[in-house]
Structure 1
Amino acid sequence: MSIRRRRALFTALLILYTLFVFSNSLDMGPSSSSKSGAVLALVNGFFESVGLPLQLSEHFVRKAAHFAEYFGLGAVALATLRQYTARWRPHLALPLFYCLVVPLCDESIQLLVPGRSGQISDVWLDFAGALTGLAAAALLLWLWRRRAKSLQN
């Protein structure tokens, strides 16, 4: 695949992922709570079926979803940057800035949706998830490069 196609593909993926994040914020309060409740029932049912005495709360599930959603955003943001430059470390501020602006916009969107509220604590949680995703993607890039070098020798 040509570099132009890879760049277009990863840029489109980043945009679509961001739209997915924003679309979750457009769910009205009852709909969002219903989705969280369904995931909670599924997870707690799994724990019960394997004999684990754990019961998660809806609050935990919602916060874990925030973290996981933004973990993915951070990883995709770094992978997209990597398509534009082999020397991505000097340009790390770009995905970091992006991964801070998106949760700020995301929580602002929630201020406009009935039954939802934007919270600064969620901005921090989202950014922490994005940083973790960026770090995981950076580690994978480093391991990939290290493996490639060892195969050359």
Structure 2
Amino acid sequence: MSGKVSRTGGYLLDYSTSDEAQRDRFLSILVTSADARMADTIAAMLTACGHATSQIAGHVEGLRVMDSFVFDVLVIAVDHDGSTSLAFAIAAKAKLPAMRIVWISQNVSTPPALAKSVVDAFLGIPFTLDQLQDCLRERLPVPRP
């Protein structure tokens, strides 16, 4: 694969347009969780699948990182009520509208109503590597020009 550096500083890969290449392409993924062990585990799983992952500890830091780098996917492992995570998801989507957001929680059966309009995919805890990969494959972002 070849690539180019975007105007905002992120590295963008040039992808094939075939369906198979779309399913198996590597993504630039930003992972956040209030629980550092959870963020480490998710990032390790995604890295093992060949994706480029970055981790952030806080939502303010995440928005700052998005000023410099473009991400294909934002993975938010939600803590407790998810209210601050929802505010972060809304701000992140406003900053990078093409970025897809995956919401990981122990309670995905009743996500906040507003989350449904911002979040592209919901994944329940516990989950397997295959379930995480399937979630990403189903919600792949449209390739950037």
Give TM-score scaled by structure 1 length. 0.28
Greater relative contact order (CA < 8 Å, ≥ 6 in sequence): 1
More helix by share: 1
Structure with larger Rg: 1
Give TM-score scaled by structure 2 length. 0.29
More strand by share: 2
